Amino acid sequence: MAKSQSRRIELLGNDVEFEVRNSSEATKPRIDVDIHGVTVVVPDSSEVRPSEVLRENAVWVIEKQRGFEQYREQIPNRTFEAGETFPLLGTERELIIEPARSHEITDASIRLRKSTVEQSTVKQVLENVYRRKAREHFSERADHYAERMGVEYEKIEIRNQRTKWGSCSTTGTISLNWRLMMAPPEVVDYIVVHELAHLREPNHSSEFWSLVAEYDPEYEAHSDWLTENSSRLVFSEDDL
């Protein structure tokens, strides 16, 4: 897939920057809009004008762009300095950097070993702490619900998906986004139940949602919480 230089177009009074990608796999033109921008994908053999594709879908493009702009504005402006607070399982905890033998998480704080931070960055060390805690917590919750639901999974993988909170492979691997550790415990449990349910119901059928509801009766509220608060579960805009 080849990438062109950026172009600009006016849509509904808005100046929109976009890129064009030619694809040998595409069968028809499509528009991709994400937090990084607008891309028009066109088949290699197509003579379609990307600008016309955008004009025909102007309302949709502008609405998507505004949604991502609002999302970006809601991302916390973190400085990664001692004294700042970070959510862990829904509870804000003060970041403390101090001489110590190891990192420590308490009910009120996240304490990082100073010498480790000096060899890296606060952000990277903090993410590593979250990832380790995620593996521990997610595994415990997956074991808990797998036994109750009568399913078996192969393993837990900790990921950093940009658009997914979790996934379940056909081989039984449950992948979970480490950033879920910033959400409340009941929201984490919802995603765990959701992915484990796929081991019995691969598709999002009525049977699937009935199974999810059996083990998380408030799953709709938990799903809504993620939709409304996903921007808060980002360390910084650089992670997008």
DSSP letter assigned to residue 12: T
**What domains are defined for the chain?**
2-74 (no CATH), 85-239 (3.30.2010.10)
User: So what's the pLDDT on residue 3?
Assistant: 53
> 45-72 as b/e, with b when 16 or more CB fall inside 10 Å?
ebeeebbebbeebbeebbebbeebeeee
DSSP letter assigned to residue 27: S
- Lowest mean pLDDT, pick from 7-11, 110-114, 179-183, 216-220: 7-11
Number of residues written out for the chain: 240
Q: Per the structure block, which two tokens stand in for 70?
A: 């609002």
User: So what's the pLDDT on residue 36?
Assistant: 83
User: So what's the pLDDT on residue 4?
Assistant: 63
Question: pLDDT tens-digit profile of 109-160?
Answer: 999 999 999 999 999 999 999 999 999 999 999 999 999 999 999 999 999 9
Q: Give residue 178's Cα distance to chain centre.
A: 9
- Lowest mean pLDDT, pick from 74-78, 193-197, 202-206: 74-78
CA distance 230 to 221: 14
Q: Per the structure block, which two tokens stand in for 140?
A: 């415990």
Question: pLDDT tens-digit profile of 152-172?
Answer: 999 999 999 877 899 999 999
CB 57 within 8 A of CB 16: no
For the cut 60, the answer to whether the pLDDT of residue 65 exceeds it is yes
CB 190 within 8 A of CB 173: no
Beta bridge partners of 19: 39
Percentage, residues of the chain above pLDDT 90: 82
Average pLDDT over residues 24-35: 90
